[in-house]
């Protein structure tokens, strides 16, 4: 049967966004960022780069570098790991550039500056809680190094340096300290030029209570034990043992990459001779390190070979820390990882972190050895790191895994990068309110940056592409770079002019939205391919220019054509000896575009089963999911879904496509699936729940609810359990509440099952689920789970505002940033105006303007839309 329908094969729904980016690994970093992005949505990325009232340009430009920073030596004394105070002495060498320097201005947020001396002489200084200004009298002459010594106290900063003290609610968990400097938060614990256009050597000499480990950038020069007499808060003085760790990073790097971690860990080295790669994990988890991080050395060797540049630093440490606000942070030679970034043996069946591990490792070259000169060029960090994950998958799992990773990036961009100039900024744009915005913008540097690199590789060919990237590394190592620096090297190596390419994919927002119609005219024996650009086209957003590859297969013979598109529409007409059995549009993903294909279903079935690439097979499967119930399509989808030899992503797509048909036959085929691969089984349970939900469900509810309830409590895979729990909520299976409450008690990797159960309780909107959720909002629960639980209390609070308010209000001052953010959002969701007063009081007393702003915004949003009833 021939049918033809408009279908959009390249626009995965947002929910799949995370899944598609890197199905195979638990890519937490994106989720966290988006989580906190949700809060900042109200701030938004639309800084509006022009101030109407003053006529001012509000775009962001790098700060001046009046002096070159040579080396920072930071001596820290942490008397008590449970008391968030540290004494510090910073010695900074600077060399004024060009002119005598009369004042040195450093970023210094909320530091208690005690003294400053210049070349050994006391200096006058001001400290407004945001900048340290040192008067240089006499002015420091240019080109002559000078030494600035600053003594100060770090007092429990709200950002940058985080204390996770021991707590009775978490018996046995030793206290810990970690830092997070990106984008501009290391100035919360040391004065610096807190912007990426300054590189310097750094040296950390940290003295901490005996028995704690200290990790920092570079190499460890020494570690020694000492005894000190100290006086505690009660005035009691005692002799205590301390350890002093002396770290040196003598290859210049940027300030946001400076790292300090203090804690108790199992440390296991996964490195190679001459390059130690210690992994720091919570005590008792050492035996799990190799299962999670065991391929780090292999990844390193791959990247060294691909870019012909040896790993640049003294060691490569990976540190799993509590209460970490992201997924991973690529500090120089010492990556910080989120708190559950260590996979238990039983969870290795359905969890791995290779996506995240290879991403952060890639940054050691792209981000650390070469750093973007300013935040608008952040894709040079994040795009490369995301793309190198795809290269690792290509190397370690094959071409299909590479395609799956690239396609995931395409999906993410197509789903979000859907506005045009000037409505939203481009990937490379100085328009942002605060630096974090550039990491979260719709033209997102992670997936869009990686997609641009993939397109360049396809465009220039492997030889020229990898040679150019190698030359870029060689020329810019130890320096900062901008987008055009990279472009020029690509042009130099390939001879191809790339200004238009970079303009349309990096300097303007949006992507082409194509409608492609493929038709066979049997009387004229002619194939027609008509392409239309459907996005808004105007002077600021002209039609995209690209060559669209088309693979035509006739009697098993493949014939490649390229259709040049540079306007609203273009057509390709080809006389053929016989009707094709498949016409695949852009099977190698050479054009980052959303593509609606109108094609005979028979061609799609052929492409789904025997398309030339993983990407082309997935795209055909998606299209079949939007077609009415043609038997060949259903049969093909079922065959793909049950075929263990096929890539798990393709099988999952086939399951979703079957479910999307909402036809009894297709649904019966879905319910018959019980794949052994937990990733596919997870998709099957979600699809089965879909088929038993909504109006006129093709599947009977009870049987499905039984299956889901059993899987939620007994499946070996926590992914599958979580999917079963979400499925019960999807079906609104209120009668299965006991299963959800039981799922709350299940320990699983990343607390996946508990978080799913919390979300399901909120979706089922059960009043008596509040008390169950409140329990998980407190210290003693993983910080991510706390954030989920707090959100749930906010959603269910309408049933008992008092309980909700009493549970949430105190969390506005919680030690964990994630809990504080979730509490503010939950109050807005709850909509109880009684919280406004507390928020305003906190805004009035907050030390940090950024924190005060946050409280004020929550109060404004709450005031603007209080709960109606
Ligand atoms: Zn990154």
Would you state the pLDDT for residue 421? 78
CA 353–ligand 1 middle distance (angstroms): 14
CA 443–ligand 1 middle distance (angstroms): 16
CA 713–ligand 1 middle distance (angstroms): 35
Flag whether pLDDT at 529 surpasses 80: yes
CA 828–ligand 1 middle distance (angstroms): 30
Flag whether pLDDT at 503 surpasses 50: yes
Residue whose structure tokens are 């499946």:
715
Per residue in 373-394, pLDDT (tens digit) is: 999 999 999 999 999 999 999 9
Instruction: Identify whether the C-beta of residue 622 lies closer than 8 Å to the C-beta of residue 20.
Output: no
Q: How far apart are CA 596 and CA 197, in angstroms?
A: 43
CA 29–ligand 1 middle distance (angstroms): 8
Flag whether pLDDT at 641 surpasses 90: yes
Q: Mean pLDDT in the chain? A: 92
Is residue 55 exposed (0-12), middle (13-18) or buried (19+ Cβ within 10 Å)? exposed
CA 382–ligand 1 middle distance (angstroms): 5
Termini Cα distance of the chain: 55
CA 316–ligand 1 middle distance (angstroms): 16
When mean pLDDT is compared across 38-47, 54-63, 182-191, the lowest value belongs to: 38-47
Is residue 660 very low, low, confident or very high in pLDDT (cuts 50, 70, 90)?
confident
pTM of the model: 0.93
Question: Coil, helix or strand for 317?
Answer: strand
Is residue 134 very low, low, confident or very high in pLDDT (cuts 50, 70, 90)?
very high
Per residue in 773-786, pLDDT (tens digit) is: 999 999 999 999 99
CA 204–ligand 1 middle distance (angstroms): 24
Would you state the pLDDT for residue 233? 86
CA 774–ligand 1 middle distance (angstroms): 33
Pick the more confident residue, 232 or 343.
Answer: 343
Q: What is the DSSP secondary-structure string of 226-240?
A: EEEEEE-TTS-EEEE
Question: Coil, helix or strand for 535?
Answer: coil
Would you state the pLDDT for residue 868? 55
CA 330–ligand 1 middle distance (angstroms): 7
Would you state the pLDDT for residue 483? 98
Q: How many residues does the chain have?
A: 869
Would you state the pLDDT for residue 500? 98
Would you state the pLDDT for residue 494? 98
Residue whose structure tokens are 């959303």:
594
Would you state the pLDDT for residue 16? 40
* Beta strand pairing call for 260-263 and 213-216: antiparallel
Would you state the pLDDT for residue 418? 86
* Beta strand pairing call for 67-77 and 85-96: antiparallel
Flag whether pLDDT at 130 surpasses 50: yes
CA 377–ligand 1 middle distance (angstroms): 13
Would you state the pLDDT for residue 10? 47
Would you state the pLDDT for residue 628? 67
CA 389–ligand 1 middle distance (angstroms): 11
CA 27–ligand 1 middle distance (angstroms): 11
CA 465–ligand 1 middle distance (angstroms): 22
Flag whether pLDDT at 13 surpasses 70: no
Mean pLDDT of 332-336: 98
CA 328–ligand 1 middle distance (angstroms): 7
Would you state the pLDDT for residue 50? 85
Give how far Cα 132 sits from Cα of 394, 501, 851, Å: 48, 43, 20
Pick the more confident residue, 417 or 319.
Answer: 319
CA 783–ligand 1 middle distance (angstroms): 21
Each residue of 345-377: b (16+ CB within 10 Å) or e?
Answer: eebebbbbbbbbbbbbbbbbbbbbbbbbbbbbb
CA 362–ligand 1 middle distance (angstroms): 9
CA 722–ligand 1 middle distance (angstroms): 27
Which residues face 328 on adjacent strands?
A: 337
Is residue 48 very low, low, confident or very high in pLDDT (cuts 50, 70, 90)?
low
Flag whether pLDDT at 45 surpasses 60: no
Give how far Cα 390 sits from Cα of 109, 359, 444, 808, Å: 38, 9, 17, 41
CA 39–ligand 1 middle distance (angstroms): 20
Mean pLDDT of 91-103: 97
């Amino acid at each position: 049967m021939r049918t033809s329908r408009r279908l959009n094969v390249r626009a995965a729904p947002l929910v799949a966004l995370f899944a598609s980016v890197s199905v195979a690994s638990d890519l937490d970093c994106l989720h966290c960022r988006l989580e906190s992005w949700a809060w900042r949505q109200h701030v938004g990325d639309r800084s509006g780069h022009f101030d109407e009232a003053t006529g001012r340009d509000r775009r962001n430009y790098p700060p001046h570098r009046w002096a070159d920073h040579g080396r920072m030596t930071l001596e820290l004394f942490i008397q008590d790991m449970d008391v968030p105070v540290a004494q510090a002495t910073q010695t900074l060498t600077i060399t004024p550039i060009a002119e005598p320097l009369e004042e040195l201005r450093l970023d210094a947020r909320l530091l208690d500056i005690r003294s400053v001396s210049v070349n050994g002489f006391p200096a006058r200084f001001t400290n407004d809680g945001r900048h340290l200004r040192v008067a240089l009298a006499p002015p420091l002459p240019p080109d002559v190094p000078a030494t600035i010594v600053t003594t100060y106290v770090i007092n429990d900063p709200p950002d940058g340096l985080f204390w996770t003290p021991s707590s009775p609610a978490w018996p046995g968990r030793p206290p810990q300290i970690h830092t997070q400097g990106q984008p501009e938060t290391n100035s919360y614990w040391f004065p610096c030029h807190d912007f990426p256009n300054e590189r310097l050597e750094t040296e950390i000499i940290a003295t901490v209570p005996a028995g704690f480990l200290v990790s920092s950038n570079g190499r460890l020069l020494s570690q020694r034990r000492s005894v000190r007499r100290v006086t505690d808060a009660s005035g009691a003085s005692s002799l205590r043992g301390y350890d002093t760790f002396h770290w040196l990073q003598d290859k210049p790097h940027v300030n946001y990459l400076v790292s300090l971690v203090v804690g108790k860990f199992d440390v296991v080295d996964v490195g190679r001779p001459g390059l130690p790669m210690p992994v720091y994990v919570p005590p008792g988890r050492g035996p799990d390190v190799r299962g999670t991080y065991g391929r780090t050395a292999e990844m390193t060797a791959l990247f060294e070979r691909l870019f012909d540049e040896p790993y640049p630093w003294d060691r490569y440490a990976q540190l799993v820390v509590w209460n970490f606000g992201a997924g991973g942070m690529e500090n120089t030679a010492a990556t910080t990882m989120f708190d559950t970034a260590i996979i238990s043996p039983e969870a290795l069946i359905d969890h791995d972190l290779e996506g995240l591990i290879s991403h952060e490792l890639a940054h050691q070259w792209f981000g650390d050895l070469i750093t973007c000169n300013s935040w608008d060029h952040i894709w040079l960090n994040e795009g490369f790191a995301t793309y190198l994950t795809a290269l690792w998958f290509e190397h370690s799992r094959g071409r299909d895994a590479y395609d799956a990773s690239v396609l995931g990036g395409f999906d993410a961009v197509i789903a979000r990068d859907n506005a045009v100039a000037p409505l939203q900024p481009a990937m490379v744009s100085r328009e942002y309110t605060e630096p974090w915005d550039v990491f979260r913008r719709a033209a997102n540097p992670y997936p869009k940056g990686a997609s641009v690199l993939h397109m360049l590789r396809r465009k220039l060919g492997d030889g020229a592409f990898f040679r150019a990237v190698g030359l870029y590394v060689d020329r810019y190592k130890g320096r900062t770079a901008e987008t055009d620096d990279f472009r020029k090297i690509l042009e130099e190596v390939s001879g191809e002019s790339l200004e238009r390419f970079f303009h349309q994919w990096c300097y303007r927002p949006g992507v082409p939205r194509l409608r492609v119609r493929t038709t066979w005219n049997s009387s004229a024996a002619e194939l027609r391919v008509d392409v239309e650009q459907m996005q808004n086209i105007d002077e600021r957003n002209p039609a995209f220019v690209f060559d669209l590859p088309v693979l035509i297969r006739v009697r098993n013979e493949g014939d490649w054509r390229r259709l040049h598109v540079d306007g609203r529409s273009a057509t390709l007409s080809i006389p053929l000896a016989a009707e094709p059995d498949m016409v695949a549009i852009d099977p190698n993903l050479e054009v980052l575009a959303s593509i609606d294909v109108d094609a005979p279903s028979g061609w799609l079935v052929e492409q789904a089963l025997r398309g030339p690439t993983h990407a082309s097979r997935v795209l055909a499967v998606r299209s079949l999911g939007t077609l009415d119930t043609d038997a060949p399509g259903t049969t093909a989808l079922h065959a793909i879904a049950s075929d263990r030899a096929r890539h798990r992503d393709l099988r999952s797509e086939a399951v979703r496509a079957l479910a999307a048909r909402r036809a009894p036959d297709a649904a019966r085929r879905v319910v018959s699936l019980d794949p052994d691969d937990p990733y596919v089984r997870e998709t099957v349970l979600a699809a089965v729940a879909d088929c038993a939900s909504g109006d006129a469900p093709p599947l009977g509810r009870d049987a499905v609810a039984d299956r889901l309830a059993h899987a939620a409590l007994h499946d070996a895979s926590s992914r599958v359990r979580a999917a079963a729990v979400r499925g019960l909520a999807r079906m609104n299976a209120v009668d299965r509440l006991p299963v959800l409450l039981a799922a709350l008690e299940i320990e699983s990797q990343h607390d996946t099952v508990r978080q799913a159960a919390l979300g399901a309780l909120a979706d089922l909107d059960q009043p008596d689920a509040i008390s169950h959720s409140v329990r998980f909002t407190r210290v003693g629960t993983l910080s991510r789970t706390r954030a989920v639980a707090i959100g749930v209390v906010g959603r269910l609070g309408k049933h008992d505002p008092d309980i909700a308010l009493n549970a949430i209000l105190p969390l506005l001052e919680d030690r964990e940033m994630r809990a504080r953010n979730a509490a503010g959002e939950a109050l807005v969701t709850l909509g109880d105006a009684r919280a406004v007063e507390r928020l305003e009081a906190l805004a009035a007393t907050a030390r940090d303007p950024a924190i005060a702003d946050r409280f004020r915004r929550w109060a404004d949003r709450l005031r603007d839309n209080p709960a109606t009833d």
